[in-house]
């Protein structure tokens, strides 16, 4: 949907295409179905789909499901929903597990060519023998096992003759390589785990390194775009493709992960937030997941624009959360109809407005865009205004309502505060105001200047609602960067504020889920998933201005 801005990957692919190396570009988005997608994944989705679209190709959705322990069907379903919601449609839905048989064939090929061996040492020994950056590795005593013996053992591993961990398959590359990834990496492990798709067919599973590049080759992916932590794996990616009879020769290009402040972007940490009950679920509106952002009120275009603005580079930075919010604000400012709602109500009686009467006012749905039309809002003798819009001992610069002061009620007329009613505790419970009838539109005082304009709703017509306001999920910019304390300790206890006595103008009665509105002067709001006609619930997606600017 969005055209790709220039960046090093686009420029590089363009050169390759211009040089005739490719006639079209095929990419894949390869999530592991062990959690919901987050905003970091959106960066990868936008990049992969835009590169293929820019060069006449397509993108596959590939579930990287080679690690059965944490993978589930519900995660597959949510991932598909989220990619589509972002605005992308994949060419093929693929599963790495569909290639298990082919991958095993490749393993036999390596074994037969003396390029892999079955190692009977335990995992700790193997790890220790792989050495360090300054010390070369140590050969396994099994390194020179003859190919026929390796084949026999590998087939018996598959047949289930050995317990978990008894043997692994290792590539035979170079135990002295300066790149530790090339020191005979493990390709297969025996693990008796039920797989969400292949059931109990397999009890040995390929590692990421062995599965990923070969899956790319099987799908004829031209460019395998991944994050920087795989840069050191690229020599292994290339080595395997070089030594295997694969049907195509993809190339891996790395880019920097997206990081955003005041949140965490790792499925492991997000899983903890959900499992330990710190949030209401993967789609809690405070979560940086696509499901959470959607429920919060984010739009697909705002997320795509955000991804395009942050660009694609090789160096990691931390993007302020406010940048994401700015893109939402920019989108909603154009598209969200305006409405009036009062979040913290204070009753106002208009003493010179007849009781039992309703006057209807025209209210523009968007002050800058007449094409969005208008609606009628009812005015009655009793209305609600925002408690914050009245101050008894107001400073000079307070231009909202104060005793004896005047303010314009948005879309209606000017009122003056004549009397402040209090309860025994001294709290203001009601204001008694008089209106200037000639300050209505079309009347002589329509343009009379008063300093402030405030929003309001008719007490008789307003709909009672719950409104949920959200703040940052964490108190510190880098919750997971703290070496001393668990990131959970940095959760912001005030990240959710529930206002259960809000009042909405009646046109909001049948707002469909996901339809954003600007509540004038308060921010952009969207009906929550839990909202019902009996009990409307709105989320504040974002405030009108960046209140977080430091």
Q: Rule CB under 6 A: say whether 43 interacts with ligand ATP.
A: yes
Residue 32 or 91: which CB sits closer to Mg ion?
Answer: 32
Say how far apart CA 194 and CA 191 lie, in whole Å.
9
Quick one: which of 129, 198, 266, 543 contacts ligand ATP (CB under 6 A)? 266
241 secondary structure, DSSP code: H
Tell whether residue 213 is among the known ligand binding residues.
Answer: no
Q: Sort 124 into a burial class: Cβ within 10 Å, 0-12 / 13-18 / 19+.
A: exposed
Say how far apart CA 264 and CA 260 lie, in whole Å.
7
In the complex, least distance from residue 97 CB atom to Mg ion, rounded to whole angstroms: 15
- Strands (E) located in 322-405: 338-339, 341-342, 345-350, 359-364, 374-379, 382-386
Quick one: which of 2, 27, 44, 302 contacts ligand ATP (CB under 6 A)? 44
Strands of the sheet containing 116-119, edge to edge, are: 116-119, 168-171, 186-190, 204-206
Tell whether residue 265 is among the known ligand binding residues.
Answer: yes
Please give the helix or strand (H or E) that residue 328 lies within, else none. Answer: helix 321-335
In the complex, least distance from residue 262 CB atom to ligand ATP, rounded to whole angstroms: 15
Say how far apart CA 6 and CA 179 lie, in whole Å.
32
Q: Rule CB under 6 A: say whether 41 interacts with ligand ATP.
A: yes
Region 383-442 residues binding ligand ATP, contact defined as CB under 6 A: none
Tell whether residue 64 is among the known ligand binding residues.
Answer: yes
User: Of Mg ion, ligand ATP, none, which one does residue 417 interact with (CB within 5 to 8 Å by kind)?
Assistant: none
**Pairing verdict, β 26-29 and 58-63:** parallel
Quick one: which of 16, 32, 139, 530 contacts ligand ATP (CB under 6 A)? 32
Three-class DSSP category at 274: helix
Tell whether residue 109 is among the known ligand binding residues.
Answer: no
Please give the helix or strand (H or E) that residue 519 lies within, else none. Answer: strand 517-519
User: Of Mg ion, ligand ATP, none, which one does residue 30 interact with (CB within 5 to 8 Å by kind)?
Assistant: ligand ATP
Residue range at the interface with ligand ATP (CB under 6 A); choices 27-35, 93-101, 175-183, 317-325? 27-35
Tell whether residue 531 is among the known ligand binding residues.
Answer: no
Q: Rule CB under 6 A: say whether 339 interacts with ligand ATP.
A: no
413 closest CA partner among 444, 459, 375? 444
Residue 33 or 185: which CB sits closer to ligand ATP?
Answer: 33
Please give the helix or strand (H or E) that residue 293 lies within, else none. Answer: helix 290-296
216 closest CA partner among 29, 361, 79, 386? 29
Say how far apart CA 478 and CA 65 lie, in whole Å.
30
Q: Rule CB under 6 A: say whether 265 interacts with ligand ATP.
A: yes
395: how many CB neighbours lie within 10 A of its CB? 7
Residue range at the interface with ligand ATP (CB under 6 A); choices 35-43, 149-157, 514-522, 525-533? 35-43
**Which residues does 371 contact at the CB level (< 8 Å), separation at least 6?**
none
259: how many CB neighbours lie within 10 A of its CB? 17
Q: Rule CB under 6 A: say whether 258 interacts with ligand ATP.
A: yes
In the complex, least distance from residue 124 CB atom to ligand ATP, rounded to whole angstroms: 24
Q: What region, left, alpha or beta, does residue 134 occupy, with left being phi > 0 and alpha being psi -120 to 50 degrees?
A: alpha
Tell whether residue 451 is among the known ligand binding residues.
Answer: no
In the complex, least distance from residue 31 CB atom to Mg ion, rounded to whole angstroms: 8
Tell whether residue 99 is among the known ligand binding residues.
Answer: no
**What is the longest distance spanned by two Cα atoms in the chain?**
102
Query: Which residue(s) pair with 364 in the sheet?
Result: 374
In the complex, least distance from residue 225 CB atom to Mg ion, rounded to whole angstroms: 13
Q: What radius of gyration, in Å, describes the C-alpha atoms of the chain?
A: 31
Tell whether residue 240 is among the known ligand binding residues.
Answer: no
Q: Rule CB under 6 A: say whether 30 interacts with ligand ATP.
A: yes
In the complex, least distance from residue 41 CB atom to ligand ATP, rounded to whole angstroms: 5
Q: Rule CB under 6 A: say whether 40 interacts with ligand ATP.
A: yes
**Pairing verdict, β 374-379 and 359-364:** antiparallel
In the complex, least distance from residue 67 CB atom to Mg ion, rounded to whole angstroms: 9
Residue 62 or 172: which CB sits closer to ligand ATP?
Answer: 62
Region 50-89 residues binding ligand ATP, contact defined as CB under 6 A: 64
Residue range at the interface with ligand ATP (CB under 6 A); choices 26-34, 110-118, 214-222, 520-528? 26-34
In the complex, least distance from residue 301 CB atom to ligand ATP, rounded to whole angstroms: 19
In the complex, least distance from residue 198 CB atom to Mg ion, rounded to whole angstroms: 19
Binding string, 209-248, against ligand ATP, x = CB under 6 A? -----------------xx---------------------
Residue range at the interface with Mg ion (CB under 5 A); choices 30-38, 39-47, 84-92, 176-184? 30-38
Say how far apart CA 287 and CA 293 lie, in whole Å.
7
Residue 211 or 417: which CB sits closer to ligand ATP?
Answer: 211
Say how far apart CA 86 and CA 44 lie, in whole Å.
12
In the complex, least distance from residue 258 CB atom to ligand ATP, rounded to whole angstroms: 4
In the complex, least distance from residue 543 CB atom to ligand ATP, rounded to whole angstroms: 25
Residue 30 or 300: which CB sits closer to Mg ion?
Answer: 30
4 closest CA partner among 323, 331, 309, 329? 309
Say how far apart CA 377 and CA 340 lie, in whole Å.
9
92: how many CB neighbours lie within 10 A of its CB? 12
**Pairing verdict, β 496-504 and 463-470:** antiparallel
Q: Which residue is closest to Mg ion by CB? A: 32
156 secondary structure, DSSP code: H
**Pairing verdict, β 456-458 and 204-206:** unpaired
Say how far apart CA 292 and CA 324 lie, in whole Å.
14
Region 369-388 residues binding ligand ATP, contact defined as CB under 6 A: none
Residue 187 or 226: which CB sits closer to ligand ATP?
Answer: 226
Task: Please give the annotated binding residues, written as ranges.
Answer: 32-34, 38-44, 64, 208, 227, 265-267
Binding residues for ATP: 32-34, 38-44, 227, 265-267
Binding site feature residues for L-glutamine: 64, 208
| Residues at the contact surface with Mg ion, assessed by CB under 5 A | 32
Binding site for ligand ATP (CB under 6 A): 30-32, 40-41, 43-44, 64, 226-227, 257-258, 265-267
């Amino acid at each position: 949907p969005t055209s790709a801005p220039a960046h090093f990957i686009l420029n590089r692919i363009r050169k390759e295409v211009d040089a005739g190396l490719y006639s079209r570009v095929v990419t894949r988005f390869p999530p592991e179905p062990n959690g919901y997608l987050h905003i970091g994944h959106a960066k990868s989705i936008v990049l992969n789909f835009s590169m293929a679209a820019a060069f006449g190709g397509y993108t596959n959705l590939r579930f990287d499901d080679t690690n059965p322990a944490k993978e589930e069907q519900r995660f597959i379903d949510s991932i598909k929903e989220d990619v589509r919601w972002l605005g992308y449609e994949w060419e093929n839905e693929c599963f790495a597990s569909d290639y298990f048989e082919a991958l095993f064939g490749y393993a036999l090929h390596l074994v037969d060519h003396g390029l892999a061996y079955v190692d009977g040492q335990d995992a700790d020994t193997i790890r220790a023998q792989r050495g360090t950056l300054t010390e070369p590795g140590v050969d396994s005593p099994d390194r020179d096992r003859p190919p026929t013996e390796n084949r026999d053992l590998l087939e018996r591993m598959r047949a289930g003759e050995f317990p978990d961990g008894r043997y692994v398959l290792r590539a035979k590359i170079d135990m002295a390589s300066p790149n530790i990834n090339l020191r005979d990496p493990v390709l297969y492990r025996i693990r008796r785990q039920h797989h969400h798709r292949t059931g109990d067919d397999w009890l040995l599973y390929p590692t990421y390194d062995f599965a990923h590049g070969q899956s790319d080759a099987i799908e004829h992916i031209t460019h395998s775009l991944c994050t920087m932590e795989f840069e050191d794996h690229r020599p292994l990616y290339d080595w395997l493709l070089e030594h295997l009879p694969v049907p195509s020769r993809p190339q891996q290009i790395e880019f920097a992960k997206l990081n955003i402040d005041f949140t965490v972007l790792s499925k492991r940490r997000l899983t903890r937030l959900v499992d330990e009950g710190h949030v209401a679920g993967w789609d809690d509106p405070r979560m940086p997941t696509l499901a959470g952002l959607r429920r919060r009120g984010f739009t697909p275009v705002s997320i795509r624009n955000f991804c395009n603005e942050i660009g694609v580079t090789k160096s990691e930075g931390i993007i302020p959360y406010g940048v994401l919010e700015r893109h939402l604000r920019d989108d909603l400012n154009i598209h969200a109809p305006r409405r009036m709602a009062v979040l913290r109500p204070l009753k106002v009686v208009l003493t010179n407005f007849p009781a039992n009467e309703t006057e209807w006012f025209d209210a523009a749905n968007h002050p800058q865009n007449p094409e969005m039309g208008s609606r009628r809002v009812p005015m009655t003798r009793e209305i609600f205004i925002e408690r914050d819009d009245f101050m008894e001992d107001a400073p000079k610069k307070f231009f909202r309502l104060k005793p004896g002061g005047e303010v314009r009620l948005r879309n209606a007329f000017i009122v003056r505060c004549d009397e402040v009613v209090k309860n025994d505790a001294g709290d203001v419970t009601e204001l008694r105001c008089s209106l200037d009838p000639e300050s209505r539109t079309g009347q002589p005082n329509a343009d009379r200047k008063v300093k402030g304009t405030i929003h309001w709703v008719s007490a008789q017509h307003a709909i009672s609602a719950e409104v949920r306001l959200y703040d940052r999920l964490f108190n510190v910019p880098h919750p997971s960067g703290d070496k001393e304390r668990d990131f959970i300790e940095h959760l912001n206890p005030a990240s959710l504020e529930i206002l259960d006595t809000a009042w909405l103008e009646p046109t909001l009665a049948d707002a469909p889920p996901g339809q954003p509105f600007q509540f004038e002067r308060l921010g952009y709001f969207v009906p929550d998933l839990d909202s019902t006609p009996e009990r409307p619930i709105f989320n504040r997606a974002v405030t009108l201005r960046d209140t977080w600017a430091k």
